[in-house]
Amino acid sequence: MNDYKEKILKICNETSKNTLMETLEIDYIDVGEDFLLAKMPVTTKVHQPDGVLHGGAMVALAESVGSAASYIFLDASKFFVRGIEISANHVKSVKDGFVYAKAVILHKGRTTQLWEIKITNEADELISLCKLTTIALPRS
């Protein structure tokens, strides 16, 4: 299982090169049977003007992790995945350190999937609760 886990994380991190995920420095760090976990540094480049983590950066993190999880848990050779709806409730501010996004599947349908993504700080306090709906479209 450990070799499989390392392989999945390596693929997730390699496919992030030259994308928004690389720009935000998102690093996929753990995967299990029903979740994917990533971390992102909180620096001035992801701050809003008043010096705290921008909500849009959190939403980008959540959609990135949820979409990557969809690829892991679906047959990516048969489907491509797109996010079709995302919502976020930001409940706490962060100025520095890291935030962690854990995507857990709530519904795995043949066409749509529903993900809950909790973003926490280094003290494991909830920062944002996101819900992402993805759609799996057949490759032609």
Angle between helix 2-14 and 55-73 (nearest 10): 130
Q: Indicate which residue of 63, 85, 116, 122 is catalytic.
A: 63
Q: What share of the chain is helix, strand, coil (3-state, %, to 5)?
A: 30, 45, 30
Q: Quickly tell me which residue has 């909500």 as its tokens.
A: 55
Does 33 qualify as catalytic in the annotation? no
Between CA 32 and CA 79 the distance in angstroms is: 21
Q: Is the dihedral of CA 83, 15, 10, 128 positive or negative?
A: negative
| Opening angle at CA 86, ends 49 and 140, nearest 5 | 125
Query: What residues are annotated to the active site?
Result: 63
